[in-house]
Amino acid sequence: MKYKRILLKLSGEALMGESQYGIDIDRVAQYAKDIHDVHAKGIEIALVIGGGNIYRGLSAEKAGMDRVQADYMGMLATVINSMAMQDALEKTGVKTRLLTAIKMEQICEPFIRRRAVRHLEKGRIVIFGAGTGNPYFTTDTAASLRAVEINADVVMKGTRVDGIYTADPLKEPNATRYDEITFDEVYQKNLNVMDMTAFTLCQENNLPIIVFDMNKPGNLMRLVDGEPIGTLVKG
């Protein structure tokens, strides 16, 4: 098996399915099945999910809200998404633990690095909620940070596109996809992979990133089986 422990990052928008807002239960169930199937192969899985389908701190700031207040509201949105994913995963029969950077004892555990690693070692899927617990940091940064903390082998960023392109494929039909690219090339070409803080964390810790289409059922399994799905970013 190519990977022993992975950090899967999902955007909040991905959970909307074809809707404009909120959580599409069918889409969440599809993700849960794909994650369950990979977990059944013995791979340790941690998850970070964004909150953009419910609330976006940056958008609220532009509308006049205090940025710190808006970011905390966004963190709470990620916990809602994490709870939805936790429910869907447990319906497939896997054990999960939700750990958050903001204490909410009635619904989850506080994030403690050693506890998170122990859960993974025991075969539980770990979901990290509430970002880093700090304003001004995105869930991409939370994903990179948690991946480094738990010694993950790779960050897999599941999106609605099948990799990194020379330009936005939705706007530029002639854009071509990279199969593999270096961190330095991403910098030089100013490609939008993750925000700079998240990206730099991965680069400095030699942690590869794979950007792939999570909406195609079975892609996650093909990826961990070593198929060249998506775009690999590495040293």
The predicted-structure confidence for 209-225, as pLDDT tens digits, reads as follows 999 999 999 999 999 99
**Alpha-carbon span 216 to 31, nearest angstrom:** 9
pLDDT value for 219: 96
Helix (H, G, I), strand (E, B) or coil at 40: coil
Residues with Cβ within 8 Å of 212's Cβ and at least 6 positions away in sequence, in order, are 156, 157, 158, 159, 162, 163, 219, 220, 223, 229, 230, 231
Q: Residue 149: how many CB atoms within 10 A of its CB?
A: 17
**pLDDT higher than threshold 90 for residue 160:** no
Query: Is the pLDDT assigned to residue 64 strictly greater than 90?
Result: no
Share of the chain above pLDDT 70, in %: 99
In the prediction, which pLDDT does 93 show? 97
**Nearest alpha-carbon partner for 198 in 190, 189, 209, 188:** 209
Structure tokens at 137: 């940091």
Please report the DSSP string for 145-167 in residue order: HHHHHTT-SEEEEEESSSSEESS
Q: How many helices (H) and strands (E) does the chain have?
A: 8, 11
Reported as a pLDDT band with limits 50, 70 and 90, residue 193 is confident
> What is the per-residue pLDDT across 92-124, written as a single tens digit (0 to 9) for each?
999 999 999 999 999 999 999 999 999 999 999
* Host H or E run for residue 53: none
Sign of torsion over alpha carbons 144, 198, 18, 62: positive
Residue 164 sits in a domain of what CATH number? 3.40.1160.10
End-to-end CA distance of the chain: 21
Q: pLDDT at residue 172 above 90?
A: no
What is the domain count for the chain? 1
- 9 near 156, Cβ under 8 Å? yes
| pTM as predicted | 0.94
Domain that holds residue 132: 5-234
Residue 163, token pair as written in the block? 């990799």
* pLDDT, tens only, 32-55: 999 999 999 999 999 999 999 998
pLDDT band at 56 (very low <50, low <70, confident <90, very high): confident
Edge-to-edge strand ranges of the sheet holding 231-234: 109-110, 96-100, 125-129, 44-49, 5-10, 154-159, 209-213, 231-234, 180-182
Tokens of 164: 């990194």
Q: What is the largest CA-CA distance in the chain?
A: 51
